[in-house]
Amino acid sequence: MRIGADAIYMTVANKKFRESNGIRLGGRASKKETAATEVQSTEQQELFKLDLRKRSTIEGRIGTSKRKNGLDLAATKLVATSKLAIGMTFL
């Protein structure tokens, strides 16, 4: 399984959870981790680039939805109400 997430979610606790559950996190590592790791193989570099391309596509779609469908105007306070407002926007 692979998850694409922002660097803010790449904490030590999340890293331990990912490793114990076999989850691969697609994204850039922190500067500390980058300095400590060895040089990546060609396969690892290609996998990293593929993850970045997929994540970029997803981020682009979210941005387009916000602009075109007015999701940036959704200002509800409850999670359930937010889900409803977003669902109605797409409908």
Please provide the size of the chain in residues: 91
Identity of the residue numbered 3: I
| Per-residue pLDDT at 18 exceeds 60 | yes
> How many whole angstroms from its chain centre is CA 67?
19
Tell me the two tokens of residue 29. 């590592």
Question: Would you tell me how many other CB atoms lie within 10 Å of the CB of residue 75?
Answer: 8
| pLDDT confidence bin for 5, thresholds 50/70/90 | confident
Contact 3, 21 (CB under 8 A): no
Mean pLDDT of all residues in the chain? Answer: 75
pTM of the full structure: 0.48
Tell me the two tokens of residue 60. 């682009």
pLDDT computed for residue 23 by the predictor: 83
Among candidate residues 88, 63, 68, 67, the one with its CA nearest the CA of residue 76? 88
User: What confidence tens digit (pLDDT) does each residue in 34-77 have?
Assistant: 555 556 688 878 887 888 888 888 778 777 877 777 766 667 77
